[in-house]
Amino acid sequence: MTARNLVRLALAGSVSLAAFAAPALAQDISSPNKASDSASDGIIVTGSRIKQDPAKSALPLQIISNAEIQQNGISSPEQLTMFLTSNGSGADNLAANADVTTGAQRGTNGLSSANLRGQGSAATLVLLNSRRVAAHGLSGSAVDVNQIPFAAIDRIEVLKDGASAIYGTDAIGGVINYITKKNYTGIGATGFVDIPEQGGGEIYNLSGIVGYGDLGTNGFNVMAAVSYRWNKGLRGDQRSFVNTNQPINGLAVDTRGTPIATIFSIGSNAFQTPNGTLTGGLTLTAPNGGNAASGGINVLDLPGGAGCTSMDGGQEYDWALWNSPNNFYACAWDTGRAAVLQQPIETLTYYARGTAAVGGSEAYVEVTGSKADSAKRFSHNQLSSNTTSLPIAYPLNSLTKTTYDSVFNSLRSAFSGNPAQVAALDARYGLPIAFRYRCIPCDVREYTTESETFRVAGGIEGPLPFDRWDYRVGASYATSSVTSQLGTGYHYRGTLSTGASDPNAPIAPGATAPGLVGLINSGILNPFSVTQSAAALAGLQAISAEGATLYGGRYKTFQADASISGPLFALPGGDAQVAAGVDYRRETYEFNGSAAAAATAPVIFNAAFDNVNALTPKNRTVKAVYAEVSLPIIDMLEVTGAIRLDDYSGFGSTTNPKISAKFQPADWLMFRGSYSTGFRVPSFNQIFNGITESPYSGSDLADPVKCPGGVPTSAFNSGQPCAQIRPNIWNGGTADLGPETAKMMSLGVVLRPLPRWSLTADWWDIKADNTIQLLTLRQLIDNAALFPERFIRDGAGNVQVLDQRWINAGARKTRGIDFALRGSVDLRDSRTLSLGFDGTLLLEKKEKLTQAAPWSASQIGVFTFAGDLGLRWKHNAWLTLSNDDFSATLTQIHRAGYANQKLPGIASGAVVRPGFNPQVEAYTIYNFALSYTGLAPNYKLTLGVRNMFNNDPPFAISYDGNSGAGSSWEPRVADPRGRSFTVQVEVKF
């Protein structure tokens, strides 16, 4: 019997047992989980191995209860992560990775991750019941929080401090520890819906939990939980704020691939266009002096044409904004409307646990797993004629003559004022027309991703035969397997890289050659029409590559650990406590290429295969010892020290200490602080990935050697010093990449002026050295003197390649203050008014690219395409009024603004757009939830409104001219769904 079948059997048995026992297990809906630890005895909290009262901890620990989660309308781990003010604003959620991705974002299909303190998802440790879970099977570094069994969660502990002295690698930004229920009895079920007012992006969730046996009374407990969550997709064209055609505001897309093709000039191809193309080599002068033939001509934009806006999503190409005068007669198309704003994802999670008293100890086994199916959908493929890999052109034949002549005559008429140019055009009549075409009938591009995780853990803990000494022994095994396939929008190309026909590609009915090349060059598919014949649609279906595997990866981790803890000796403030332990971990990562990209397989056009990164299983072992001691020197002062020695195969050993202290001169006042060091090792793919080379198609780079500042002011290939450059980009691993190290400090104060009231403020500082990063292209351009080896030039000194592979570069420092307020007051008629506030103020965010270099200017609120935006201020505030039967909660979520992106024309000062705002406005929304338990015993109904005032995301220029991703809003900050209505029904027996 397989492990999966065993899990299913265990779940079925648990459900049956609990259902049989239900009448005897009824309990209050508000307290379904009986704690196995006494609060007075202390518990093990995240960031320590010594039992303590979390309310008196020297650590900046945020504990989020189930009630707090429900009050704020949070229904998934991803939503919880984005709710945390201590979480960064990077590309760590599904919405931020729904479009075309490049660089570090490749391999994030289906991934939602945490990013505490803005240190990166690989520098945030995610635990389940204080043990590691497997990293995402594709990325091999960050943990996918979608795998967390949310239905079984009792609380979440967020340690906003470094913890490498306790846990080892990755705990630089902090730790998120999901703690499950451990002594649940009864049956519970929850149904949840979240319906946006404007449609699209609906969320549904069903979950159930069962448990039998009480540890204190029966000596055992078994429980199981299962949850099914369905997020429907939200398309860009379903929200009016998605609009890249806002030239007055400084935003326009840099694409000439349009549903009515743009005519281009290319040379000859020996296989498909031996005599060249219609406008190949011609000069057709535009009114602004540019050569329209080289920049692209759309017949809609010519004098007398229907206009670019006659196409759905069409717009005039803004040549001034992109410093591209040759593109005067080109049209553009809004790619952002074709991408999903929220990826559709269906997630099944399950969790089962059995705990038994063995003598004075507790032994447990738990199994958890998940299966998630997601789909990222983005703009339709752009088909661009070239002389090698895609030698397509629109021919003149009996199928095409009407359209061909119409296009030709439009060109002839537009340039009739220049007889020499018209004569040159007439001489080329009959040659095929080269073009750039947004293939709407090909459908949107889609990657479907299946993610499966499995984890089994077991252990035993209890007292040693010494007064108040305890032991803990445990082990876990976890895997994450992820496979991505091509969905709609991908087709067999029909040619090899040389331009010769691909003998393995299918031939569409009626075509004379295989793949897309054959379908277009036969004239069956018409790029100059928004409607297509039945033959063209049938041909696209015949050459579709839907279902081909893109790539897959698998990550496995085995961990075993043992520890002891107890008192050493008495001190004036109490007993000195000590904990010590050993830890062993073995990690394995493999990445599978696709058979569809093998040498004998037909070539699929524009599919982002990563066969160059295929890895046979790579292993890494970690052996560690650690110790921790807590010294209550006097009643008011306690000092805690910890140290951990890790030995990593391939990296050697590292020792990381931590010291923390708390000083409490009065019951209502406590000061606390800590200092620690930390580290994170590179992921497998950051070391072992091969080199991928891709062309850069943006218009915002110039050679910094020839053009100080690297901001272009003239067109590509214009011969000017500040001409646009379009080099190839190298991405991939670096074999000699080393670990990143960090030093962390914090100082805080805790005020408890009244019972049930507390206020905390914690200053923190993180300085990371030898940072593992991908330098952005702009960083390379701005710092060319520091990294000349990253500019690969030809014999004439022209930049041919920019090397953007992983690098250990310089240092990073981040500093801020966290604030938290909790309080409640009793009112008349058994009512209670409670409030909460969490805020994070970012004081400093800087970097330097070498140790000898000066620190950069402040990066707080500075736009980047994929990194952390570094918002200066974030806060969540909520107010709850409750009594025995109901509670009503109003929540405010606020995220500060930041610097807007400047497109090349504005950045160079060549153009001024009156509506351009250099600052993205702040994002603030309000949520409301009303819960009522008085309808029937054991039932709870919660009604809510998210984004009460239906605030759109603020206008932000997130469009990337290189990849074509992004549009007019920022998914790292805002929720695109708008006002939505939630209903949740809970029942517990």
Q: Per residue in 828-885, pLDDT tens?
A: 989 999 999 999 999 999 999 888 889 999 999 999 988 899 999 999 999 999 998 9
Query: What phi and psi values does residue 466 have, to the nearest 5 degrees?
Result: -130, 150
Indicate whether 5 belongs to any domain: no
Mean pLDDT of all residues in 702-722: 90
Distance of CA 92 to the CA centre of its chain: 3
The pLDDT confidence band at residue 4, using thresholds 50, 70 and 90, is very low
* 238 closest CA partner among 970, 985, 952: 952
SS3 content of the chain, % helix, strand, coil (to 5): 15, 40, 45
Residue 99: band (very low, low, confident or very high) from pLDDT cuts 50, 70, 90: confident
**Residue 767, SS3 per DSSP:** strand
Where residue 374 falls among pLDDT bands split at 50, 70, 90? Answer: very high
In terms of Cα–Cα distance, which of 37, 363, 24, 362 is closest to 212?
24
Distance between CA atoms of 229 and 823, rounded to whole angstroms? Answer: 33
pLDDT tens for 403-413 read 999 999 999 99
| Residue 258 dihedral angles phi and psi, to the nearest 5° | -130, 160
The rounded distance, in Å, linking the Cα atoms of 369 and 4 is 9
How many CB atoms sit inside 10 A of residue 239's CB?
25
pTM for this model (two decimals): 0.90
What is the predicted pLDDT for the residue at 228? 98
pLDDT at 271: 66
Least Cα distance to 45 among 195, 172, 179 occurs for 179
What's the structural domain count of the chain?
1
Provide the pLDDT for residue 312. 94
For the cut 50, the answer to whether the pLDDT of residue 12 exceeds it is no
Largest CA distance in the chain: 103
| Average pLDDT of the residues in 360-384 | 96
Pairing status of strand 728-731 against strand 799-803 = parallel
pLDDT digits (tens, 9 = 90+) for 518-556: 999 999 999 999 999 999 999 999 999 999 999 999 999
For 569-599, the pLDDT digits (tens) are 999 999 999 999 999 999 999 998 777 777 7
Q: Is 929 helix (H, G, I), strand (E, B) or coil?
A: strand
In a domain, 862, yes or no: no
Please check the confidence at residue 357 and state whether its pLDDT lies above 80.
yes
Rama region for 90: left / alpha / beta (φ>0; ψ in -120 to 50; rest): beta
In a domain, 435, yes or no: yes
Cα distances (Å, whole numbers) of residue 577 to 206, 633, 638, 887: 44, 11, 11, 42
Question: What pLDDT sits at residue 570?
Answer: 96
- Of all residues in the chain, what percent carry a pLDDT higher than 90? 76
Query: Which pLDDT score, from 0 to 100, does residue 935 have?
Result: 87
Strand partners of residue 460: 363, 473
Q: How far apart are CA 455 and CA 470, in angstroms?
A: 26
pLDDT at 35 over 80: no
Q: How far apart are CA 904 and CA 714, in angstroms?
A: 10
Domain of 258, in residue numbers: 251-341+379-445+513-528
- Is 264 within the bounds of a domain? yes
Residues 6+ apart with CB under 8 A from 885: 932, 933, 934
What's the CA gap between 242 and 224, in Å, rounded? 43
Most confident of 103-107, 373-377, 649-653: 373-377
CA distance 611 to 603: 13
Query: Which residues share a beta bridge with 676?
Result: 658, 744
User: 6 pLDDT exceeds 50?
Assistant: no
Closest CA to 453 of 155, 171, 126: 126
Residue type, 409: N
Give residue 103's pLDDT.
62
DSSP state of 184: B
Distance CA 608, CA 549 (A): 11
Cβ contact 730:693 at 8 Å: yes
| 76-80, 384-388, 443-447, 965-969: least confident range | 384-388
Examine the pLDDT at 29 and tell me if it is beyond 60: no
Flag the least confident range among 93-107, 123-137, 354-368, 453-467: 93-107
- Core vs surface per residue 192-218: b (16+ CB within 10 A) or e: bbbbbeeebbbbbbebbbbbbbbbeee
The residues facing 384 across adjacent strands are 436
Instruction: List, for residues 656-701, the tens digit of each pLDDT value.
Output: 999 999 999 999 999 999 999 999 999 998 898 888 888 888 888 9
Residue 32 confidence (pLDDT) above 50: no
Q: Which helix (H) or strand (E) holds 769?
A: strand 758-769
Residue 388: both structure tokens together: 């090698």
* Mean pLDDT score, 485-494: 97
Structure letter (DSSP) for residue 105 = G
Predicted pLDDT of residue 70: 83
pLDDT at 643: 98
The mean per-residue pLDDT over the stretch 59-72 comes to: 88
Structure tokens at 61: 């620990």
Q: How far apart are CA 182 and CA 225, in angstroms?
A: 12
| DSSP at 236 | G
Q: Is residue 519 part of a domain?
A: yes
Q: What is the average pLDDT score of the chain?
A: 91
Under 8 Å between Cβ of 838 and 816: no
Q: Which residues of 737-758 are buried (b: 16+ CB within 10 A; e: fewer)?
A: bebbbbbbbbbbebebeeeeeb
- Nearest CA to 308 out of 328, 331, 337, 335 is that of 331
Q: At what angle do helices 401-414 and 419-426 cross, to 10 degrees?
A: 160
Answer yes or no: is 170 within a domain. Answer: no
* Average pLDDT estimate for 114-121: 94
Residue at 399 is within a domain: yes
- Sheet strand arrangement including 382-384: 262-263, 435-438, 382-384
The answer to whether position 428 is within a domain reads yes
| Cα–Cα distance for residue pair 395/524, rounded to 1 Å | 10
pLDDT for 114 beyond 60: yes
* Tens digit of each residue's pLDDT (9 = 90 or more) over 736-775: 899 999 999 999 999 999 999 999 999 999 999 999 988 8
Looking at residue 42, what is its pLDDT? 67
pLDDT band at 105 (very low <50, low <70, confident <90, very high): low
